[in-house]
Amino acid sequence: MEVPVTLNGSPKTLVVEPADTLFSVLRQLGLYGVKHGCEDGSCGTCAVILDGKVVNSCTLLAVQADGKRITTIEGLGTRERLHPLQAAFVEAGAVQCGYCTPARILAVKALLDENDHPTEADIRDAMSGVLCRCTGYVKPLEAAMRVVNGKGVPGNAQNV
C-alpha cells in the first residue's frame, strides 16, 4: 500500500503492508531515533509526533498515518543547530543512557507547540507516556522548564 505522509517537513510516500507498524517502517527508513522497549505501548520509547500529538509508533499501523504529519527526533535539530530542547537536555545532564531521550524531547515539544506556558504538572503529564529507569525524571523536567522559562541555550551545547 502507498501511504503519503509528511515526514519531518517533507512529503514522503511510505510503501507498507497492512500489518506494518509505523515503528517498523520508520526504522526501516533508517530513522533510529524510535526505539524498541516493549511491545504494547507501555514504555513510550517509540514515540513520534503525529499531527502535533505525541503518540506511540508501535501501536499504530503505518497506514493509519495516511495524510498526516510525522515528526521524529531527526526532524528537530542538527549538531550545528540543536533544537533548544535538545540543548537544554544536554546542558541539564538529563541524558544518561539516552534511550528514552528522543521520545521525551518529542513529548515536550508537542506540549510546547500547543502551550508555551505549561506548568510543571503539564510537563509531567506530557512526558507521562515515556518511562525512564535512569534519571528519576528530575533533570528532564528541569531541562524542559529551562526552555519554558527562556533560559535554554539556543544553539550548541559546549563541553568545558
Q: Which of residues 18-37 bind other proteins (CB under 8 A)?
A: 18-19, 21, 30-33, 35-37
Cβ closest to other proteins, residue 43 vs residue 148: 43
Q: How far is the CB of 46 from other proteins (least distance, A)?
A: 9
66 lines the binding site for other proteins (CB under 8 A): yes
13 lines the binding site for other proteins (CB under 8 A): no
Among 130, 145, 147, 148, interactor with other proteins by CB under 8 A? 130
- Please return the burial class of 140, using the count of CB atoms within 10 Å of its CB with bins 0-12, 13-18 and 19+: buried
In the chain, what is the straight-line distance between the N-terminal and C-terminal CA atoms, in Å? 50
92 lines the binding site for other proteins (CB under 8 A): yes
- Sheet containing strand 47-50, strands side by side: 10-15, 2-7, 69-71, 47-50, 53-56
- Please return the burial class of 17, using the count of CB atoms within 10 Å of its CB with bins 0-12, 13-18 and 19+: exposed
Q: How far is the CB of 149 from other proteins (least distance, A)?
A: 19
The Cα 68–Cα 86 span in angstroms is 24
126 lines the binding site for other proteins (CB under 8 A): yes
Among 5, 73, 112, 145, interactor with other proteins by CB under 8 A? 73
6 lines the binding site for other proteins (CB under 8 A): no
If you search the block for the grid coordinates 501511504, which residue do you land on? 3
8 lines the binding site for other proteins (CB under 8 A): no
Q: How far is the CB of 86 from other proteins (least distance, A)?
A: 4
What does the chain come to in residues? 160
